[in-house]
Structure 1
Amino acid sequence: MIETILFVISSFWVGLSGAVVPGPMLTVTISDSVKKGFIAGPIIVLGHITTELALIIVILAGLGWIIGSQPAALIIGIIGGSVLLFMGYEISRSNEKLSDIIS
């Protein structure tokens, strides 16, 4: 019983930390909302849900050890870092366009 309570508490804190701390998801949501309007939010949420659901299915299928392996961590780190660099580049490039609109 105590394990379940600790699991719920730790899950809550992990979820809260992802929701409270601004990060790439918030940056993309704000950037795309300026460009595409209201529809950007639901599309981003749908993409995030799809990714999370795929991870849950992999873990429930007993393949969680693959995600936690060293090669997977390296691949996820390289792909994730590349995507973050690309997103930062695209947002910084679009900054000139946004400043033209504002002024």
Structure 2
Amino acid sequence: MKLKLMGKKGQAGGFGAIPAIVISIMIGGFILTILTQISDDLGNAATSGSNTSQVAAAVGTGAVTFAGNFGTLFSLGLLAIIISLVAVFLVRQR
């Protein structure tokens, strides 16, 4: 008995939904991480006598973290899409 993961023949298969779900979860977590990072940094700057340079540094670190996370997220999303496309292609070959 085959698992009903593939969907019906002629369709793109059940894999179509997987990358969308994965990507949406990753983007959600990623945005949450950035927001907590920035708020933490700003909170630290505010408690320690909040001069402008500390706030600027906090925003800068937030931006760097953002860029790093975005790179990781993008490559993971791309990987998920490629895997799903390969899976669909393999299903179609049968």
**Structures share fold, TM-score greater than 0.5:** no
Q: Which has the bigger relative contact order, CA under 8 A and spacing at least 6?
A: 2
> Higher Cα Rg: structure 1 or 2?
2
Greater helix share, structure number: 1
TM-score, structure 1 as length reference: 0.39
